[in-house]
Structure 1
Amino acid sequence: MSATLLAVVLSLVSAVAYAGAAVAQERLAARTTDAGMLRLLARGAWWWSVGLNAGAALLHVAALKYGTLTLVQPLGALTLVAAVPLGARLAGRRVSAVEWRGTALTLAGLSAVLVTASGPAPDDVLSVPQALAVTGATAALIGVLARPGARPGLRHASASGVASGVASALTQTVTVAVTDRSGPLLSWQVVVVAVLIAAFAAGGLLLSQTAYRGGLGAPLAVVTLANPIAAAAIGLSLLGERLQGGAAGLLLAAAGAAVAAWGVVTLSRSAPVSPAAADEEHPVAAVLALGTGPAAYESPPLLPRQPKPGHLTPL
């Protein structure tokens, strides 16, 4: 199996795990107030979502070993694609025409990106000064996006995507450095960058948890788009990554990215086709629906479950 194909397969499995984790986070966040965020630490469901995120992250690290940032990071859009059949399955319905359209657009766009971004396994790494410079610039940007008093929503989602994208870029540096047998396994460079990865990964997780309080659709779409943009910027500017095909390849990649972004937004705006798809079980298809207006970003109140006709309410 070629390095590019292995990176794609690992990214696909990682995206499925990330989709499950995002849904679990949103379901918990929708039932949690600001004062109760720390109580999530005592809930097993939250730790299950953390475990899914951790497993997805490990698969992502493995993919970064065999593929470039410009190849692996855009495949994160498969998170939404994976959520479509899962949501339909849980809701007991068929995939809607809008969801099929969004899936087709996303896959078509990613196919164009794969053609131009495929290349040899990465071998360049960030130096410690470069890693610290990236960290400082990213921290400043996150501080602006997630400033105190900002309403949880798309700004927090953007900050989460940037943090995750930078963490992936730093992770590739550690992965390449550790697997390079010409130097020590735990060099000063590896230790410093590993600490930065932990900080950005934790920050991205907490920022996404906050963003998902207003629903999963729009925030997850923003996270999905901001992540590869941040990672690709580092890969192309600092790690010597190049797109295949010269100017024509650049145009094809840009067109593919635009089509994939259109598909991601379409998926995030897809709503259930029947009331049954948005029942109290809160399936994936329901949480992917994009709300509108200010109320869409407020945590919904918890209502008591109403008995279904013909059913007895337990005492």
Structure 2
Amino acid sequence: MTSSETTAYIGRFAPSPTGPLHFGSLLAALASYLDARANHGRWLVRIEDLDPPREDPAAAARILQILDDYGLHWDGDVRYQSQRGEAYQARLQQLQRQQLAFPCQCSRKQLAGQPHHGNCLCNASSDIAWRFLCPSGDFRFNDQLQGDWQENLADIGDFILKRRDGPWSYQLAVVTDDIDQNITHIVRGIDLIDSTARQGLLYRALGADIPHYAHIPVALEQNGQKLSKQNLARALQREGREQTLFTALSWLRQQPPQSLSGSAPEELLNWAVQHWQPAALAGIQALPAPQGYLRQASEV
């Protein structure tokens, strides 16, 4: 995760406001922040609020407050995807002109769990989804932590750009904003690595360079599930943030000195930026979450 032109480095952290940040999301935020700062780059925050029924109205503000409490201060203004509909529409129209986006009325029942492969002959102009026409072959990229990664595009099929019920897809929105914000490096959890092929296809179709990717391991509960909002991961608290941040650095295998335990976030982060060693995570896809951040038995 180095940049030959460090001044050009722009990274980002893009949480969905479906609930509070937890230890797993702190790891992703921290790794992306450290990589940006170690490369003298900018670090942006984007709120991916594209699906109101799944969102907590208070979550976005709480997420930003926790980032601030933990010393993870971002550059520029926070971007909210809910305000970006016109930009997504422009990109969809660009793909339509290139005949890479097509209307679809296929239901999940009709697809029976199988990928969509150009098998839609929809001529409707309303009550439709829009899909990206996926090519055949493989998508390969070199992940700076996981190495050479390959996906068979036949397993992906023609993926959604805009849902039939109206909302924009995660894939189109993410790529549109990454292009618009000149994102050069993406550091995120390996649970999102399966989105990389879809996003890479969109970058290419829209005439943009594909960012450098680095996917860090996920933190696991005792039952093997990843820490997540859906799995009721414990919310981060302002209280005890010094120890939580120290624990997160240790989990990321950065080996902070014990003398820094209990130090203020700014002191911990200053040390971590100067000593950032992402290669310590190379090839690792999952690690147990620290004991203090697991759900209690009564919460499972």
TM-score (structure 1 length as normaliser): 0.27
| Structure holding more strand per residue | 2
| Structure holding more helix per residue | 1
| Greater relative contact order (CA < 8 Å, ≥ 6 in sequence) | 1
TM-score (structure 2 length as normaliser): 0.28
